Amino acid sequence: MKDRQIVVGVAVVRDGKVLAALRPGADGGWEFPGGKVEVGESDEEAAVRELREELSLEIKLGASLGPAQPIGERYLLRVYLAELLAGEPVLHEHTAIRWLSVGDLKHIEWLPADRPFLPALHRILPAVF
C-alpha cells in the first residue's frame, strides 16, 4: 500500500452535527469533503486547502477518526475531525450538503471507504465542539 496516494476526508463538526457532502457523477455518493494530498503537503495543509476550494470554509483539523481505508487500488483515505472556524458552506463542487446528527449518520448512502469511520464518529460526535 506504500505507493497509494493519500486522500484526506474532513469531518467538520458544528453544534454536534457533522457535514456530509454529495459527490456528483457515476461513482459519486456522500463523503467527507476533502481531496488528494499533494506532494510536499501535510494532511492538514491539504485539508485546509480543499475545504476552502470546495466549500469556502475555514477549518482547524483535529483528531484522526481511525486507520486509513483503501479506496480502490490507488488511494488511501484518512478522515479527521475538524472544527469550523469561519464560513457558511458554498457548494463549488458538490451537489448537496447535509449537517447530520448522530441519528442521521446511517440514513445516507456513504461512499464505501467512508463507512468504517462512522462508528468512531457516532461515539465522538455528541462530545465534541
Ligand X SMILES: Nc1nc2c([nH]c(=O)n2[C@H]2C[C@H](O)[C@@H](COP(=O)(O)OP(=O)(O)OP(=O)(O)O)O2)c(=O)[nH]1
Detail the DSSP E strand segments found in 15-101. 17-23, 29-31, 34-36, 58-64, 69-71, 75-86, 96-100
Is there binding between residue 7 and ligand X (CB under 6 A)?
yes
- 129 to 5, 26, 60, 68: CA distances (angstroms): 30, 34, 12, 23
Binding part of the chain for ligand X, among 26-34, 55-63, 84-92, 121-129 by CB under 6 A, reads: 26-34
Binding part of the chain for ligand X, among 33-41, 84-92, 100-108, 118-126 by CB under 6 A, reads: 33-41
Is there binding between residue 111 and ligand X (CB under 6 A)?
yes
Query: For residues 15 and 50, is the Cβ–Cβ distance under 8 A?
Result: no
Set of cell numbers at residue 28: 459519486
Nearer to ligand X, 71 or 102 (CB): 71
Nearest approach in angstroms of CB 25 to ligand X is 9
Collapse the DSSP code of 73 into the 3-class scheme (helix H, G, I; strand E, B; otherwise coil) and give the result.
Answer: coil
Residues in 42-101 that interact with ligand X by CB under 6 A: 50, 71, 75, 77
Set of cell numbers at residue 24: 456528483
Nearer to ligand X, 75 or 99 (CB): 75
Residues that bind ligand X (CB under 6 A): 7, 9, 31-32, 34-36, 50, 71, 75, 77, 111, 113-114
